[in-house]
Homo-oligomer: A and B are copies of this chain.
């Protein structure tokens, strides 16, 4: 059974604080083990990578076998169902159209003093894309990471994907092909992250690593952060549904379960001002669970982390939603836009009854890599800007230096940095 909270119970503040503070994922202390793997690959390159792959993926390779060949990719494309390939291509096109709008503009202007200022955006040269193996190998995630990178203009998109016992998911290879991935290597875990960060004889290093992975992958990304850039550390997924009496209980239940089926640590939350809807949703969840293939996972998530929060009015839902800062927020009320306008913290908002989150997961066009575990308070979903960087530009002539120089010299001296002041003063014959 999910927890039930009532916004207007005497003890709500404490209960809600506990609810927000509850950890859904216990991070084991695997840093030492991860560091050993990363250091080994950094020091010994391919040899260490191959040994780790033998040990963790039970796969015997030599360096020439690390890279997935174009023949294998062609074969994978042929092995996939045509309808599924078509859906992937449809998703790819929509993701591309959406993300093209995120391409930033350069800026260059001259201010009142004649100083030229601005900035220039450029793509990162090479990016690594981590793709998990096994059951969590999602072709849609390959597209969500690779397409924005290509839209940004990244020349080299390098995918790593573990191949336990030699198995690769053909749909993942197909998505990589459709998404414009440049190179694919059949390695995973901390060893793959290290290979991307430090490079080996076979795998040239990249400048940034993105994509989800298990705890070892996350720990390895933390360790190489600084040497290369990384995206967010993804946590378990969550959905928050805000609904009033107009909500369809069956549809809401289906959306809560779509979240819950991801992972036992996923979280599904309903906030409603309708006790009747709350009861109906809870019954519908039970009924739908009966016929769900991944019912065990979904039930574990719903029982352990699911929540229904009753409020007196939808106004009361706003501060709660902003505190929860959900990765996915569905609004199914009589005026979803009005409520949405009051939301500050959410990874993505799905408006109205005909926008189930699953549309955004696959074919809406927006990115499904979104901030989890309340990190929407301070971070954004993946996008084109994550694959670019900005160089600022400053240009003075003699007149501008005369206008700005004295203040710079004053501040340099005030900070005890005389060489700073002197670098200006020399040019102005002031030192």
Contacts and interface: CB of A to CB of B under 8 A. Distances in A.
A267 interface: no
A394 B421 contact: no
B171 A258 contact: no
A348 B391 contact: yes
A229 interface: yes
B411 A373 contact: no
A411 B125 contact: no
Interface in A62-118: 81, 83-84, 86-88, 90-91, 94, 97-98, 101, 107, 109, 111, 115-117
A283 interface: no
Contact of A401 (B90, B225, B344, B354): B354
A258 B407 CA distance: 16
B354 A423 contact: no
A117 B364 contact: yes
A165 to B, nearest CB: 19
Contact of A258 (B83, B88, B417): B417
A427 interface: yes
Contacts of A138: 415
Interface stretch (A49-57, A185-193, A247-255, A304-312): A247-255
Contacts of A107: 101
Interface residues of A, number: 122
Contacts of A415: 138-140, 171
B424 A356 contact: yes
A98 B117 CA distance: 8
Nearest to A101: B107
B420 A258 contact: yes
Interface string A346-374: 11111111111111111111110011010
A419 B351 CA distance: 20
A359 B404 contact: yes
B349 A412 contact: no
A320 interface: no
A interface SS class: mixed
Given A364-B115, A411-B88, A396 B359 contact: yes
A382 to B, nearest CB: 10
Nearest to A84: B414
23 contacts: A87-B406, A101-B109, A115-B365, A117-B365, A119-B366, A125-B344, A135-B416, A258-B423, A262-B417, A294-B416, A294-B417, A340-B393, A347-B392, A349-B392, A354-B400, A354-B427, A359-B401, A360-B392, A362-B412, A364-B396, A366-B393, A367-B392, A378-B389
Given A117-B364, A222-B222, A352-B397, 5 more contacts: A88-B411, A119-B366, A207-B378, A226-B373, A340-B393
Interface of A: 81, 83-84, 86-88, 90-91, 94, 97-98, 101, 107, 109, 111, 115-117, 119, 122, 124-125, 135, 138-140, 171, 207-208, 222, 225-226, 228-229, 233, 235, 250-251, 254-255, 257-258, 260-262, 288, 292-294, 298, 336, 340, 343-367, 370-371, 373, 375-381, 383, 385, 389-398, 400-401, 404-408, 410-412, 414-424, 426-427
Across chains A and B, which 7 residue pairs bring their CB atoms closest together, nearest first?
Answer: A229-B378, A351-B395, A380-B390, A254-B423, A87-B407, A87-B410, A366-B392
